[in-house]
Amino acid sequence: MTIGISTYLIYLAISVALTIWVARTLHKNGRVFLVDVFHGNDALADSVNHLLVVGFYLINFGYVTLALKLGYAVTSAEQSIEALSVKVGMVLLVLGGMHFFNLFIFSRMRRRSVQHTQPPPIAPDAFTAVRQEA
Amino acid sequence: MFSLTVLYDPECGLCRRAHEWLAEQRKIVELNFVPCASDEARHRYPQLNHDLTKQDLTVVGDDGGVYFGPKAWLMVLWSLVRYREWAYRLATPELLPTTKRVVSMISQNRYQISRVTGLNRLTR
ipTM: 0.76
CA–CA separation, A102 and A108 (whole Å):
10
pLDDT for position A119: 87
Greatest mean pLDDT among A106-110, B92-96, B110-114 lies in B92-96
The answer to whether B71 faces chain A, any CB pair under 8 Å, is yes
Residue B107 confidence class, pLDDT cut points 50, 70, 90? confident
pLDDT for position A10: 92
Strands B3-8 and B30-35: parallel
The answer to whether B95 faces chain A, any CB pair under 8 Å, is no
Which residues in chain A land under pLDDT 70? 133-134
CA–CA separation, B19 and B41 (whole Å):
17
Q: Enumerate the β-bridge partners of residue A127.
A: B65
pLDDT for position A133: 63
Indicate the domain borders of chain B.
Answer: 3-121
Cβ proximity of A115 and B85 under 8 Å: yes
Query: For residue B64, what are the contacts with CB-CB under 8 A and spacing of at least 6?
Result: A127, A128, A129, A130
State the nearest Cα–Cα gap between A82 and chain B, in angstroms: 48
CA–CA separation, B30 and A89 (whole Å):
52
What integer is the mean pLDDT of B17-38?
89
pLDDT for position A2: 85
A58 C-beta neighbours (distance < 10 Å), count: 10
pLDDT for position B121: 64
CB contact under 8 A, A111 and B1: no
Residues of A in contact with B84 (CB under 8 A): 115-116
Is B124's pLDDT higher than 50? no
In three-state form (DSSP H/G/I as H, E/B as E, the rest C), the secondary structure along B85-116 is HHHHHHCCCCCHHHHHHHHHHHHHCHHHHHHH
Q: How many CB pairs under 8 A join A and B?
A: 63
pTM, 2 dp: 0.62
Q: Which is more confident, B96 or A111?
A: B96
Among left, alpha and beta (phi > 0; psi -120 to 50; other), residue A130 is beta
What value, to the nearest 5°, has the Cα angle with vertex B106 and ends B105 and B112? 110
Cβ proximity of B59 and B6 under 8 Å: yes
For residue A30, give the nearest of A45, A20, A8, A11 by alpha carbon. Answer: A45
